[in-house]
Amino acid sequence: MKFVTKQIHAYWDYPVAFALIALPYLLGLGRSNVTALYLSVVIGITALILTVFTDHQLGLIRVIPYKIHLLIDGLYNRISSLLSEHQKRV
């Protein structure tokens, strides 16, 4: 089942990447957990790089197949949920 089209996904990739990089600083987040701050920035930078290199209409250097992009997005989501669950236990 496809919830988001390839085109919509491409248009959301850039703002999400920039938000992950900038919002922790703009909103003053991460003061209590510096690791979360840096993790957000690192994921934002890697998401931006991934988007630039993905083969979709907004990719600048189209060498990564879109399916691989989706797989990596899924890994980001899984890793962040695991880290969130771990943080709740600590």
Q: What is the pLDDT tens value at each position of the chain, 90 positions in all? A: 568 888 999 999 999 999 999 999 998 887 777 877 888 899 999 999 999 999 999 999 999 999 999 999 999 888 877 876 766 665
What CA–CA distance (Å, rounded) separates 82 from 78?
6
Count the Cβ atoms, other than its own, within 10 Å of residue 55.
15
Is 54 inside a domain boundary? yes
What CA–CA distance (Å, rounded) separates 6 from 19?
20
Is 1 inside a domain boundary? no
Range(s) of the domain holding residue 22:
6-89
Supply 62's token pair. 């189209």
Is 64 inside a domain boundary? yes
Is 85 inside a domain boundary? yes
What CA–CA distance (Å, rounded) separates 65 from 42?
22
Is 40 inside a domain boundary? yes
Is 59 inside a domain boundary? yes
What domain count does the chain have? 1
What's the predicted TM-score (pTM) here?
Answer: 0.82
Nearest to 58 by CA among 24, 17, 2: 17
Is 67 inside a domain boundary? yes
